[in-house]
Structure 1
């Protein structure tokens, strides 16, 4: 059987901001909580395991900083009492023709952390900023 593996370096993130290019995306994870259960009338002296609620990891978006672009900071800083803008986000893994091969649709995401760049006088790397998002679910299409 022949498998057509997909490279991970060609992707875009449509997050509601003007720039779609990112250096790194992580946290496209889903876990199902295992719930221990035992009926008081059960003759067995152990718990049964049942599937419980789904849990989604936070998604981390990382990109280089560009002069005049404060969209990450503005989004997390827009929080008002009990209210912050939620966005549906699309993360697309692309083929060589720049067409989506796998698409993750993230529901009702909002930022929970913003990290500015690490500044180091002896380092010539780009200044990077990071936004961490929580959300209410992921759907995958491929």
Structure 2
């Protein structure tokens, strides 16, 4: 007999990835969080680089692998371009020799009621690259800009 899904538990379904929000700190001395709408986010990964070691007198002819330095990717975020919205380029333009406006960024995956189900927190994030849209005279798409954030750590919570 075919399974119509009626016996499926409500808690077994994975979350869809299209309902999310991005918040970042309001700046020095501010507890306010600013919220931005993005079309796409990628680069939410972290990896412990393995260190291989073998003592010269080991009776086992293979290496032992230990966790080494933790490495995170830059996070890339894409959003539509709006009139008079230059926040990201303004943030990027604050880069000077050995100084940059670093901030905490939180990316929340939301459930159907808008409550966070999973969060990715970027520590001391700063824009390393801002890319404008491509322009085509016969294009029929929305103008999208990209910002790439470097950060000093990724904390994942559910």
Q: TM-score range by the shorter chain?
A: over 0.9
Residue 153 of structure 2 corresponds to residue 122 of structure 1: no
Contact 2:48 2:69 in 1 (8 A): yes
Q: Secondary structure at the match of 2:36?
A: coil
Partner of residue 5, structure 1? 14
Matches for 1:1-142 after TM superposition, within 5 Å: 2=9, 3-16=12-25, 18-142=34-158
Count of aligned positions: 142
TM-score of the superposed pair, with normalisation by structure 2: 0.83
Indicate the structure whose relative CO is greater, using CA pairs within 8 Å and at least 6 residues apart. Answer: 1
**C-alpha RMSD of matched pairs (Å):** 1.6
1:36 Cα deviation (Å)? 1.4
Please report the TM-score for the alignment, with normalisation by the length of structure 1: 0.92
Larger radius of gyration: 2
More displaced 10-residue stretch of structure 1: 77-86 or 44-53:
44-53
Contact 2:21–2:35, Cα closer than 8 Å, also in 1: no
Cα deviation for residue 19 of structure 1 reads 5.0
| Structure-2 separation of matches of 1:136 and 1:4 | 33
